Amino acid sequence: MKKLLLLIILEICLVKLSFAQNQYQKFQVSEDIEIIKINDNAYVHVSYAEVSGWGRVASNGLIYLNNGEAALFDTPMTDSLTKDLMDWISSKLKAKVTLFVPNHWHRDCIGGLAYLNSLRIESYANEITGEIAKSKNLPIPAHGFRDSLALSLGDKKIFCEFLGAAHALDNIVIWLPSEKILFAGCMAKEVGSKNLGNTADADLTAYPETIKKVLNKYRNAEIVIPGHGEFGGIEILKHTLELSSKK
């Protein structure tokens, strides 16, 4: 009976979360890219691409705006999709992307980095991300940091932090204090997830400890954005902790 009650409560929460996300304004850039407006300064970009063994996969990234400048967090999986996204930011948001930060080295984070490099956009990443990218002959971010990095977009602050391995050895989180938005990327799983997804490059031993650190440090986050699926609140990190703690 208790299990049935918990399942009912979870279903209600999932319905409410889905309903809440559907209230945000959406823009269709192309068949493979859509944009969700969180507020006047922050937009989630969702791109779709075929991934071997997984089919058509939707991946999340973030656009952060301030006075005509934009910061991009994660690219779509290809240069062509990234170009489409960049063209939309320029034409519809009337903003110029001046900096880029990927969550980690996978294709759903740096798949369009070569295109961004061709535009000479400043890119910043965990040093480990650069090392892995170099070892795999992938495009390399221009600047690396070890534990944390503070960036500025005009008068707004952006904090990038490596709190440990989880989904990948190099995954970071990005905190926008003025918006109370945490872009946690692929280490975080949407509330509807039944498992941790792709763990081919994960550190399953470190995973729960890393999520605990993120949860403890960013408890005041109002919006948490995972790498895939619906964004929500702090419950996303709590759910991910439960998934990663299962043995």
Query: Annotated catalytic sites, by residue?
Result: 104, 106, 108, 167, 186, 189, 198, 228
What whole-number distance in Å separates Cα of residue 58 and Cα of residue 46?
6
Q: Which long-range contacts (CB under 8 A, 24 or more apart) does 86-95 make?
A: 86/115, 86/116, 86/119, 88/27, 88/29, 88/33, 88/35, 89/63, 92/27, 93/43, 93/63, 93/65, 94/68, 95/65, 95/68, 95/69, 95/70
Closest among 124, 159, 126 to 142, alpha carbons compared: 124
CA distances from 21 to 2, 142, 152 (A): 29, 35, 28
Contact status, residue 233 vs residue 221, Cβ threshold 8 Å: yes
Sequence letter at residue 186: C
